[in-house]
């Protein structure tokens, strides 16, 4: 259902975004050259909150409030650039509400044998904050966010099915990410007709982070790591690279590996196809790990996922063509 709702809803909102001049204008850091409306995330986030309360018998509003709160702050930022500190404080507040008040991830003990609960909660808090921003950082070319949502959604559902786990919340989030990812990909595939905007990428980062925490809570920590392997490695490596160069970490840039691939002459479509192929490998590794479910198999699949990500990054870095920054 999320597929149909969002395909139709995004189509309907594009003329509105154009009429209100909510447009992403290319600059020196952009990987596109055509002014493109932004704000498709409005439809996706509203549909998520609506379906969450319609289809899940959960008597709580902490999750939906956190998502809507982030969407409002992010929409304001799309319309009028907010200071980084205000945006970051909104991320901290939304994460705090979920981690300390929302019962479904309030008590997650994955590393209890290695660290005390307060340390583990602190680590989870930092990881959720990081993924909110990571998802936004990685939303820099046509098709990449929709592709990642599909990978995360399908992989999570398969992992739950093969390990015979039951969680209506996980299946709902995973199913929604798959459907909405396909819908957005329909409109965002190169050349993109519309962008998510921060109103979409920031809350979608929170939703994806929650799904990963829920997977970990159900002993599927390896699935969370494998399915987000490329995003985690690209964004984290880029962050440390900028730290070493003493650059402003929250300033927009075009130094991610997928952006370097575009600068090297690869098309948006080629990059997303490569990420999609890599994602299919990740889904396969998750399926094998979940079906066989042994420590040895999990370690092997984790190692193979990292190796696959390294090969993907090398492809982005070294297979050079004549530079072409157009949207094809």
Express each pLDDT in 55-68 by its tens digit: 887 778 999 999 99
Question: pLDDT of 145-159, one tens digit each?
Answer: 999 999 999 999 999
Query: What phi and psi, each to the nearest 5 degrees, are found at residue 23?
Result: -125, 140
- The pLDDT, as a whole number, for residue 59 is 79
Q: For the ranges 33-37, 88-92, 179-183, which has the lowest average pLDDT? A: 33-37
The residue that leads in pLDDT, 319 or 270, is 270
Q: Which of 142, 162, 147, 160 is nearest to 261 (CA)?
A: 142
pLDDT band at 328 (very low <50, low <70, confident <90, very high): very low
Query: What phi and psi, each to the nearest 5 degrees, are found at residue 195?
Result: -110, 160
Q: Is the dihedral of CA 193, 197, 203, 206 positive or negative?
A: positive
Q: Taking a C-beta distance cutoff of 8 angstroms, is the pair 2, 47 a contact?
A: yes
pLDDT band at 327 (very low <50, low <70, confident <90, very high): very low
Concatenated DSSP letters of 118-184: HHHHHHHHHHHHHHHHHHHHH--STTHHHHHHHHHHHHHHHHHHHTT---HHHHHHHHHHHHHHHHH
The residue that leads in pLDDT, 308 or 116, is 308
Query: What phi and psi, each to the nearest 5 degrees, are found at residue 38?
Result: -130, 145
Q: What is the pTM of this model?
A: 0.92
Q: At residue 319, does pLDDT exceed 80? A: no
The residue that leads in pLDDT, 249 or 46, is 46
Query: What phi and psi, each to the nearest 5 degrees, are found at residue 36?
Result: -135, 135
- The pLDDT, as a whole number, for residue 169 is 94
Q: Taking a C-beta distance cutoff of 8 angstroms, is the pair 320, 264 a contact?
A: yes
Mean pLDDT of the chain: 92
Q: What's the mean pLDDT in 275-303?
A: 97
Q: What's the mean pLDDT in 10-20?
A: 96
Question: pLDDT of 202-241, one tens digit each?
Answer: 999 999 999 999 999 899 999 999 999 999 999 999 999 9
Q: At residue 321, does pLDDT exceed 60? A: no
Question: pLDDT of 81-90, one tens digit each?
Answer: 899 999 999 9
Residue percentage of the chain with pLDDT more than 90: 78
- The pLDDT, as a whole number, for residue 30 is 73
Could you tell me the CA-to-CA distances from 198 to 71, 78, 101, 170, 222 in Å, in that order?
8, 6, 25, 24, 29
Q: Is the dihedral of CA 89, 91, 96, 101 positive or negative?
A: positive
Could you tell me the CA-to-CA distances from 2 to 41, 96, 195 in Å, in that order?
13, 28, 18
């Amino acid at each position: 259902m999320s597929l149909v709702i969002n395909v139709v809803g995004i189509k309907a909102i594009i003329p509105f975004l154009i009429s209100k001049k909510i447009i992403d204008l290319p600059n020196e850091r952009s990987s596109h050259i055509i002014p493109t409306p932004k704000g498709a995330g409005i439809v996706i986030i509203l549909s998520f909150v609506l379906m969450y309360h319609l289809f899940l018998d959960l008597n709580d509003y902490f999750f939906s409030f956190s998502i809507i709160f982030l969407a409002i702050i992010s929409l304001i930022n799309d319309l009028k650039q907010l200071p980084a500190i205000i945006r970051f404080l909104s991320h901290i507040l939304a994460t705090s509400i979920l981690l300390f008040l929302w019962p479904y991830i309030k008590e997650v003990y994955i590393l209890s044998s290695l660290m005390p609960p307060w340390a583990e909660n602190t680590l989870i808090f930092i990881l959720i904050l990081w993924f909110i921003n990571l998802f936004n950082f990685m939303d820099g070319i046509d098709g990449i966010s929709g592709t990642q949502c599909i990978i995360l959604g399908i992989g999570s559902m398969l992992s739950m099915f093969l390990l015979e786990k039951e969680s209506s919340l996980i299946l709902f989030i995973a199913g929604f990410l798959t459907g909405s990812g396909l819908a957005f990909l329909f409109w965002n595939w190169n050349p993109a007709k519309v962008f998510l905007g921060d109103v979409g990428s920031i809350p979608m980062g929170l939703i994806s982070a929650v799904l990963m925490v829920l997977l970990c809570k159900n002993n599927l920590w390896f699935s969370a790591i494998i399915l987000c392997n490329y995003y985690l490695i690209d964004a984290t490596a880029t962050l440390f690279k900028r730290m070493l160069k003493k650059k402003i970490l929250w300033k927009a840039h075009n130094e991610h590996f997928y952006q370097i691939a575009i600068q090297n002459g690869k098309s948006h479509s080629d990059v997303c196809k490569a990420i999609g192929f890599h994602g299919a490998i990740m889904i396969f590794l998750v399926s094998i790990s979940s079906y066989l479910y042994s420590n040895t198999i999990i370690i092997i699949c984790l190692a193979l996922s990292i190796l696959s990500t390294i090969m993907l990054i090398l492809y982005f870095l070294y297979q050079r063509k004549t530079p072409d920054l157009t949207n094809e």
